[in-house]
Amino acid sequence: MTIKSASTLVAEALKEIKTISPSEALEKVNNNTCNLIDIRDVRELERLGRVENSSHIPRGMLEFWMDPDSQYFKEGKIDMNKEIVLFCAGGLRSALATKTLQSMGFTNISHIDGGFGSMQNSGFKIVK
């Protein structure tokens, strides 16, 4: 049995998804043209803070919260008329999550290169 490594999965996802810079993401947030979604674990948010004006959807629940047919669907959490912009701590989980949502049929979706780590120095307001 051959198992693909996590780094291989991320590399494959990065070839198929849209990656934007933190400054591009900040512009979208400031223009109110995106849903900024933090997929980090709740413990990460508690420890490091969260990005102001972002929504939190934990990675483990993302597909269920975004599926209108799921019992866990969060009605009204996301404005489907705006781009969905995902981020995690460093950009690896968000790359995989973006690929997964693309597989579900979402088309107006991207993730932030470098994640929260790069966003902290790019003008995003971090709140504790």
Domain positions in the chain: 18-127
Which token pair is 93?
């989980």
β-bridge pairing 83-87 and 19-20: unpaired
Say what the pLDDT of residue 81 is. Answer: 92
DSSP 59: G
Say what the pLDDT of residue 77 is. Answer: 83
Which residues lie closer than 8 Å to 1 by C-beta, 6 or more apart?
Answer: none
Assigned CATH class of 18-127: alpha beta
Say what the pLDDT of residue 21 is. Answer: 98
Instruction: Provide the residue type at 76 as one letter.
Output: G
Which residues lie closer than 8 Å to 63 by C-beta, 6 or more apart?
Answer: 70, 100, 101, 104
DSSP 1: -
Residue 90, Cβ density class (10 Å: 0-12 exposed, 13-18 middle, ≥19 buried): middle
Say what the pLDDT of residue 46 is. Answer: 95
**Sites in the chain below the pLDDT cut of 70:** none
